[in-house]
Amino acid sequence: MLVYNSRLFGTPILSVQAGGAIATVTAPIVNPDNLQIIALQLEGPVINSNNYILDTASVREYSHLGMVIDDADELVGPEDVVKIKDILALNFNLIGLKVETKKGSKLGKVIDFSFTPEDFTIQQIIVKRPVVKSFVDPELVIHRREIVEITDYKIVVKDEEKVLKARAEKEDFVPNFVNPFREQPGFAPADTKTPADKDS
């Protein structure tokens, strides 16, 4: 099950010890080397410059109510964890990056991404198409396996034809069996509407 980054903002951080919410998410911290959300930036009444970051390894559960952690002691400052400090220094932001193919064809810009809440690994990027191409494909959903390079300014993916073919194959896929009576416990499903759909 996937969750959109756009749904991450404002997600409550629930402390078992406090018995309720102690903060909310303001931004993810993404490692560009492996496209994983390694930490979250927070805000709230108990948050200050010394404890506004939550390592995603400390999240016990991610449900429709929020993210559950043991205690506020799980929160750290930017200098407390070396790997988080190093990624913060990169000032990397996936949203807004240009996306192009290895041949240099411009595909658009990243407007959102989805991740698996079990391990916070980014699985897909949502790309808004340039005006000329938006009449046919307003958005592209590109899986992580199509990505071949990430820099500070752009994401390079495989040939456009392969990206479109992969999407078409995914849309044509029909599962063998779906149990309509089985609920999906625990994790909140990703909103099926992408940011462009919500604007329309």
Please list the residues that pair with 63 across neighbouring strands.
66
Alpha-helical (H) ranges within the chain are: 82-90, 131-134, 160-172, 195-199
Q: Is the pLDDT of residue 179 over 80?
A: no
Of residues 165 and 31, the one with the higher pLDDT is 31
**What pTM was computed for the model?**
0.77
What is residue 171's three-state secondary structure? helix
Query: Which residue segments constitute the domains of the chain, with CATH numbers given?
Result: 3-90 (2.30.30), 98-173 (2.30.30.240)
pLDDT tens string 59-116: 999 988 999 999 999 999 999 999 999 999 999 999 999 999 999 999 999 999 999 9
